[in-house]
Structure 1
Amino acid sequence: MKKISTALLLSTACAFPAFADGHTADWPESFTVGTASQGGTYFAYGSGWANLVATELGLTGGGEVTGGPMQNMALVHTGEAQFGMTTMGPAAESLNGTNPIAPGLAMDNACAMFPMYQTPFSVTALSSSGIASISDIPAGARIGFGPAGSTSDTYFPRMMEELGVEFERRNGGWTDLGGQLQDGLLDVIAFAAGVPVPAVSQLEVQTDVNIIEFTAEEQAQILEAFPVSPFEIGADTYTTLEEDATSVSMWNFAIANCDLPASFVNAVVEVVMSDNERMVNIHRAARSTTPDNWDKNGVLMWHPGAAQWFIDNAGADIPADMIHGE
């Protein structure tokens, strides 16, 4: 299959000698990574790799608190943020013009950059509530689904409805929702975030919690109805867990504005993907931030600079019609 133009190959090949002395003339001097609310995995993971890239490439950059995947697609599409992070479900909705932030707008100027990790969907309640399973959740329960427009808020309410749960929907940042759960203002928090979720880890230290898994039947029902995959939350993820917990998950990808220079994006991908141990030190969810997971993107067009990195370093067979501008 056709790959990437000779001009791009040359521009990418020149990237690393150029940034050894600073950065190339067409690179931005600063950048922003759209993450999500504080207390969630997106913020910890995104701020971490933003700081790593800024340090390695000699630029000014960092993570920015946002509403999560839906808003990140909009920010990156318009160029208000150079980079961001999204899950495949919100990415597909954004491309189809059904992103609630800008209904009818096809956000096709946000390109895939690198695979991050799978986002498991999990439910947490205080042990004192007596809620130990999905079927235990009482009608009218106050459930926190994360920031409005986040992956949790987009899909978890639908999943709960699919499983027959009646609830009052609440939104907020993960840290705030964790505090509300502890204070008795919420009955349940439904998380869609890379594990361990910082807010859950913090709750475990302060009080006794139940991390609620799906039954095999519930998992099968959700797999049938939504664009998710089977997932097991490892027993070593939380001190509360005594064995792996059955869940479902959705893949996350870092995204880049499609108009960014190919050599710049190629260099960013090199920083993130070349040393997984360094990424895992930022967040344990990065154990899946590995080159072989390039094929988990079946939704977004690839940024040319990112595509070139995976072709060169992971043997990726990316069709030309999946590369922006080809």
Structure 2
Amino acid sequence: MRNMMSKSALLLASGALLAAGSVHAQTDRSDWPDNFTVGTASQGGTYFVYGSGWANFIADELNVSGGGEVTGGPTQNLALVHEGNAAFGLTTMGPAADAVNGESPLAPGLKMDNVCAMFPMYETPFSITALEGSGIESISDIPDGARIGFGPSASTSDTYFPAMLETLGVNFDRRNGGWSDLGGQLQDGLIDVIAFAAGIPIPAVSQLEVQTDVNIIEFTEEEVQTVLENFPVAEFMIPASTYQTLEEDARAVSMWNFAIAGCDLPEDLVYEATKATMENNDRMMSVHRSAATTIPENIKHNTVLPFHPGAARWYEENGYEIDEALIK
């Protein structure tokens, strides 16, 4: 009996050593960076909250120093990641398509081929907010020459929303700034409207409706169709539960967001970061509730960027198919 127990103990010990060796082999950190940054956007927007929270989560999970960085948003994040000035970033499919085709407004002619997709985040609705006292209750109510804040320069909102409103016949005075700053300007009467493109709930809007009465303006069915015909967006409904102000779902349009990584980052690093994110949706939801759609089933919404080999490995190991042509 003693010999049998000894053999069993020896087998268990050997198995533990082999398992430990396997884990070590899969997470060899010799080529990992000492720290990382995540390109987000301006303070007061969902990108900043989501990106900074995700950076802290990954830093804790992988025991690597890292954090979110305030940036101009999706378009600048593509450039930062491509150039290696940020390891990770958050972007939207419209600016991503422009970047890989050499049509980024920040670097015309430069095809950004060092940007890889990691995981889906959420849809970005395009929505409009005005003070209730302004009398603006629809897009057609926006007066000629209205001062409209479109977010940070070169952001998704600033890139697409002005063109959308021009297509809908709105004439305006264009303003830029961080979402929190624009919220303050709206409340102080320095601008008339904010045209948001950000994950919901938008912190700046939630703060505004606590401090004053606002109108969250929806698109008409005809306006949605006009925008769909002219821009890379999809139909979207903002749930009434998103804001205190809404009494029913509000019609809008949206664009998908993805987390991105430098294609030259170590495969194991991106694998482990993707694994932690995809296997801990509850933790991601605690970062921002828009992460409800940060799930692997939504990788299908990326048809623009190649997936990083590390991210692709996790998806394929877990039964999610990716077209070989979309893997770097």
Identity %: 66
1:71 aligns with 2:102: no
With over 3 angstroms needed to count, the CA separation of the structure-2 counterparts of 1:223 and 1:173, relative to structure 1, is same
1:292 aligns with 2:297: yes
1:317 aligns with 2:321: yes
Matches for 1:35-54 after TM superposition, within 5 Å: 35-54=40-59
Using the TM superposition, name which of 90-99 and 115-124 deviates more.
90-99
Point out where structure 2 has 5 or more consecutive residues left out of the alignment: 1-18
Matches for 1:259-274 after TM superposition, within 5 Å: 259-274=264-279
Deviation sequence 1:198-236 (CA, Å, 0-9, x none): 000000110000000001111111111110011000000
Aligned to 2:193: 188
Matches for 1:177-256 after TM superposition, within 5 Å: 177-256=182-261
User: What is the DSSP-based 3-state SS (H/G/I as helix, E as strand, rest coil) of the residue aligned with 1:236?
Assistant: helix
8 A Cα contact 1:117 1:251, kept in partner: yes
Q: TM-score, normalised by structure 1?
A: 0.93
Aligned to 1:18: 24
8 A Cα contact 2:44 2:203, kept in partner: yes
> Take 2:32 and 2:280, find their aligned partners in 1: how far apart are those partners?
23
1:89 aligns with 2:94: yes
User: What is the DSSP-based 3-state SS (H/G/I as helix, E as strand, rest coil) of the residue aligned with 1:220?
Assistant: helix
Aligned to 1:307: 312
User: What is the DSSP-based 3-state SS (H/G/I as helix, E as strand, rest coil) of the residue aligned with 1:184?
Assistant: coil
Q: Which amino acid aligns with 1:210?
A: N
User: What is the DSSP-based 3-state SS (H/G/I as helix, E as strand, rest coil) of the residue aligned with 2:77?
Assistant: helix
1:279 aligns with 2:284: yes
Deviation sequence 1:78-115 (CA, Å, 0-9, x none): 11000001000000001111111111110111000000
> Take 1:267 and 1:129, find their aligned partners in 2: how far apart are those partners?
50
> Take 1:16 and 1:122, find their aligned partners in 2: how far apart are those partners?
49
> Take 1:27 and 1:204, find their aligned partners in 2: how far apart are those partners?
44
With over 3 angstroms needed to count, the CA separation of the structure-2 counterparts of 1:215 and 1:14, relative to structure 1, is farther
Q: Which amino acid aligns with 1:253?
A: F
1:61 aligns with 2:66: yes
Q: Give 1:44 shift.
A: 0.1
Aligned to 2:173: 168
Deviation sequence 1:160-182 (CA, Å, 0-9, x none): 00100000000000000000000
Q: Give 1:126 shift.
A: 0.3
> Take 1:238 and 1:23, find their aligned partners in 2: how far apart are those partners?
45
Q: Which runs of 4+ in 1 moved over 6 A?
A: 13-16
> Take 1:125 and 1:139, find their aligned partners in 2: how far apart are those partners?
15
Number of residue pairs aligned between Structure 1 and Structure 2: 310
Over the aligned positions, Cα root-mean-square deviation in angstroms equals 1.6
8 A Cα contact 2:28 2:268, kept in partner: no
8 A Cα contact 1:23 1:57, kept in partner: no
Aligned to 2:14: none
Q: Which amino acid aligns with 2:278?
A: M
User: What is the DSSP-based 3-state SS (H/G/I as helix, E as strand, rest coil) of the residue aligned with 2:116?
Assistant: strand
User: What is the DSSP-based 3-state SS (H/G/I as helix, E as strand, rest coil) of the residue aligned with 1:243?
Assistant: coil
With over 3 angstroms needed to count, the CA separation of the structure-2 counterparts of 1:263 and 1:270, relative to structure 1, is same
Q: TM-score, normalised by structure 2?
A: 0.92
> Take 2:214 and 2:86, find their aligned partners in 1: how far apart are those partners?
37
Aligned to 1:102: 107
Deviation sequence 1:293-325 (CA, Å, 0-9, x none): 011100001100001111112x2221222111x
> Take 1:144 and 1:228, find their aligned partners in 2: how far apart are those partners?
20
